[in-house]
Amino acid sequence: MKVLYFVFYLFSLLVIKNRPEEITVISYNIRYDNPDDGENQWSLRKEKVASYLRETQPDIVGMQEVLHHQLEYLNDVLDKFSYVGVGRDDGKTKGEYSPILYNSMNLKVEESNTFWLSETPEEISVGWDAALERICTYARFKDLTSGKQFWVFNTHFDHIGELARAASARLILRKIEKLNKMNIPVVITGDFNLTPDTEPIKILQNSFEDVLKDRAPSEKNYGTFTGFKKGETGLRRIDYIFNKGFQLETADHIWVKTAKGGWASDHHPVQATFLFKN
């Protein structure tokens, strides 16, 4: 048995050593487990969500609308992945998470935390005119290949409060400015419940690269929200990846379907691959 563990350890080192200096990031609202979703309920979608991540082998997945048991399922079946994050209702396990899943074979967490999108971000709270508690989970990672570090901030903006969404964008930028004293790359992932023409998105675009800013509405896979509607490929782009400090290689919205042809979630994942700049 010890020999097998040693062989596995050597193989792991080879995988890490030969891995190019690139980072693949996904933002994915997987839709919370709602028993009223009928043919779209989580039990019928979860295997496809997991297989998409297993096949893609990303380094980072910023997820939204994740309940604790959904997170535990993904953590169990995706053996290379770990996560950081807490439930928004109690700062522990209750309510939706905005967790960051990461490939623990490639990355190490240097620090992580969660703050609430509100006037009192260190406290469990509802901010401004928001309808619900909203959070941002962040982490600083070290790449085990190069030793280089980067930040990920993952969030889910309120679906009602216009003031809250603009204030949340500014709050996240202030947090990044305060934390990123080393001036290392930063990625923001999330479901922002906003289209590109809105003020909060423009606030973020003014400081960060929107990886799909040039995607035209006329293109086939422009949008990210389908609402599980059959034949609806997504007219509204409300899920984003923002980048500062990485060199963007590729980015796209990915269509993930179940074996029966339905969508694996009511949102399409956003996927991007970055290179560390020399």
Q: Is 147 left (phi over 0), alpha (psi -120 to 50) or beta?
A: left
Q: Give the pLDDT of residue 233.
A: 78
Distance, CA of 5 to CA of 172 (rounded, Å) = 42
**pLDDT for residue 14:** 45
Instruction: Tell me how far apart the alpha carbons of residues 68 and 73 are, in angstroms, rounded to a whole number.
Output: 9
Q: Can you give the pLDDT at residue 13?
A: 44
pLDDT at position 235, please? 79
Write down the pLDDT at residue 16: 45
SS3 state at 34? coil
CATH number at residue 191: 3.60.10.10
CA distances to 113, 203, 263, 274, 277 from 142, rounded to whole Å, are 16, 28, 34, 15, 15
Total domains present in the chain: 1
The confidence score (pLDDT) of residue 231 equals: 76
pLDDT for 232: 76
Q: Is 111 exposed, middle or buried (0-12, 13-18, 19+ CB in 10 A)?
A: exposed
How far is the C-alpha of 116 from the C-alpha of 52, rounded, in Å?
30
pTM: 0.92
- List 210's β-bridge partners, or say none: 242
Residue 219, pLDDT score: 87
> 137: which strand partners?
114, 154
- Residue 212 belongs to domain spanning: 2-276
Sign of CA pseudo-dihedral 56, 58, 61, 67: positive
* DSSP assignment letter at 181: T
For residue 31, the model assigns a pLDDT of: 98
CA distance linking residue 23 with residue 186, whole number of Å: 12
Residue with tokens 């082998």: 57
Per residue of the chain (278 residues), give pLDDT as tens. 544 444 444 444 444 434 568 999 999 999 999 999 999 999 999 999 999 999 999 999 999 999 999 999 999 999 999 999 999 999 999 999 999 999 999 999 999 999 999 999 999 999 999 999 999 999 999 999 999 999 999 999 999 999 999 999 999 999 999 999 999 999 999 999 999 999 999 999 999 999 999 998 888 889 999 999 887 777 799 999 999 999 999 999 999 999 999 999 999 999 999 999 97
What are the pLDDT digits (tens) for 102-155?
999 999 999 999 999 999 999 999 999 999 999 999 999 999 999 999 999 999
First-to-last C-alpha distance (Å) of the chain: 42
Q: What is the pLDDT of residue 234?
A: 78
Q: How far apart are CA 75 and CA 191, in angstroms?
A: 21
Q: How far apart are CA 10 and CA 19, in angstroms?
A: 14
Taking alpha carbons only, the member of 249, 225, 276, 235 closest to residue 29 is 225
Distance separating alpha carbons of residues 5 and 260, to the nearest angstrom: 39
User: How far is Cα 147 from Cα 33, in angstroms, rounded to an integer?
Assistant: 37
Structural element, H or E, at residue 75: helix 68-77
